[in-house]
Copies of this chain bind each other. A is one copy, B any other.
Amino acid sequence: MTGSVLSRIPLPVSWTEDGSAIRLLDQTLLPGEERYLRLETVEAVAEAIRSLRVRGAPAIGIAAAFGLAIGVMRRVEAGEPDLPDGMEKDRKHLLSTRPTAVNLAWALERVAGAFFRAEEGPQARVAAVTEEANRVAEEDRELCRLMGEHGLDVIPEEGASILTHCNAGALATGGMGTALAPIYAATARGIPVKVFADETRPLLQGARLTSWELSRAGVEVTVITDSMAGALMKAGGVNLVITGTDRVAANGDVANKIGTYGVAVLAREHGIPFYVASPRSTFDPRAKSGAEIPIEERDGGEIRGEGERRIVPPEVQVWNPAFDVTPAHLVTAFITDGGILRPPYDVAIARLLESDAPSG
């Protein structure tokens, strides 16, 4: 069972078999088509990130790390004399694709650091950046695995029916995902789990991506519109909620995909536990509370639709915040790579961040 579930979890970014290029799942074509692109240049990787063919902060970081390594490989193959200069150009190029993504800058920093720490000589440089890019991917994979293991503690042995919002799954990471990790871990152990996925307007990551990756791995999944979560809970259809997060403040306030807050309020109303899966890197001790987390407002076209798919009259306004903030008091517990955190969160989060990361 374990093997079959885990082997069916998709990997959004990896090396091609011969190690000379990047194999990247084009997520813009999902769920209609599962097409893997072979990316051989920095420009191709940059285009894939820019065009959202890969999305989810950890997966973007991994793609960028692999992309920077590919850049060094190509420059070495071409016999370029000034490798450091070329590498810095590639780094800037990749960094410009999604300027606000924290993982992107961090992953590029790691690979660039390995480049400079490596012994001189082109082959040593290639080996160093490739190893560091692999380490970025491997560490993320391990974080996901740990969240999956710890998350098992909150999943009932029988009758688990879990609501999730957006996509915090394998497609967004280098492993089993964050919110979906405990679901995969439970399924792999033969613990029966049913999942309901909010479709997650406006970009429909739940309908398109979460449902696709779960069903591909053999997990029973049902899609609902975001507006159905209340009726589902009232009907007794779910007994816990697990979501991911984009940033957690020092007090436990959670910024996540728009709609998460509404789900949390409904969960509390129905006495259903509401869990947030978060690797320690997503806790931001500089933000004292959710009020200090800036909320990105995105283009209204995502709601209006385009061309023939336009649904809102042109003269009508739209409001399109990408995230909302769920106050800490609505969060039952955090599922982290360092274990389950329970209130008081200021203490639990500070303790988590002081402890050593499991990967050293």
Report which A residues bind B (CB closer than 8 A): 31-32, 196, 198-202, 204, 207-208, 211-212, 215, 220-232, 234, 258-259, 261-262, 265-266, 269, 303-304, 309-313, 315-321, 324-325
- The main secondary structure of chain A at its interface with chain B is mixed
Inter-chain CA distance A74–B212, complex, in Å, is: 55
Q: If A258-B231, A265-B265, A324-B230 touch, does A316 touch B225 (CB 8 Å cutoff)?
A: no
- Asked whether B266 lies within 8 Å of A262 as measured between CB atoms, the reply is yes
Q: If A32-B310, A201-B199, A201-B201 touch, does A227 touch B262 (CB 8 Å cutoff)?
A: yes
- Asked whether A230 lies within 8 Å of B261 as measured between CB atoms, the reply is yes
Identity of the chain B residue whose Cβ is nearest the Cβ of A262 in the assembled complex:
B230
**How many copies of this chain sit in the oligomeric assembly?**
2
> Which one of A199, A201, A229, A230 has the greatest number of beta carbons of chain B within 10 Å?
A230
Which residues of B sit under 8 angstroms from A228, Cβ to Cβ? 258-259, 319-321, 324
- Asked whether A313 lies within 8 Å of B212 as measured between CB atoms, the reply is yes
- Asked whether B215 lies within 8 Å of A227 as measured between CB atoms, the reply is no
Which residues of B sit under 8 angstroms from A199, Cβ to Cβ? 201, 303, 311-312
Q: List 14 A-B contacts (CB under 8 A).
A: A199-B201, A200-B227, A201-B201, A207-B311, A223-B312, A224-B320, A225-B320, A226-B227, A228-B320, A228-B324, A230-B262, A231-B261, A265-B265, A265-B269
Inter-chain CA distance A104–B232, complex, in Å, is: 30
